[in-house]
Amino acid sequence: MYTIKGKTYPCCTSVTMGIIGGKWKSVILFYLIDGPLRYNELKKCINGVTERTLSLQLKGLEEDGVIRRKVYTTKPPLKVEYSLTDFGKTLVPLLKSIADWGDFVVENYAEK
């Protein structure tokens, strides 16, 4: 058993899935690989996610220390940007491998 930030996990795989698992977290992280994005930019990239779900997933990723939320208040309107933290950047090879495997599945097993 492992305890990280007050959450208990039975194995290392469950630690990973606890942080990036679910329908949207890995998708959000994948889009942040190339650099910071504003909330609306993320929303446009991710077809089908509701505003509530996106907000909750971003909050969870921020709490886990994987993404950073930066608020610019120098001039209206308020600007909020999301980016990978150094800890989050350690996920890039894993996220790219997941995307590559998804491409493989689509090319070889998708219905035509």
Domains annotated on the chain, with CATH: 2-109 (1.10.10.10)
Query: Rounded CA gap, 43 and 55, in Å?
Result: 10
- pLDDT tens per residue across span 18-74: 999 999 999 999 999 999 999 999 999 999 999 999 999 999 999 999 999 999 888
Query: Rounded CA gap, 15 and 12, in Å?
Result: 5
pLDDT of residue 65: 95
> Tokens 């305890």 — which residue?
3
- Its pTM stands at 0.91
Q: Alpha helices, DSSP H only, in the chain? A: 12-20, 25-32, 39-45, 51-63, 86-89, 92-109
Indicate if the pLDDT at residue 102 is higher than 90.
yes
pLDDT of residue 76: 79
pLDDT of residue 73: 84
Query: Rounded CA gap, 105 and 102, in Å?
Result: 5
Instruction: Look up residue 81 and give its DSSP letter.
Output: E
Can you give the length of the chain in residues?
A: 112
pLDDT of residue 85: 98
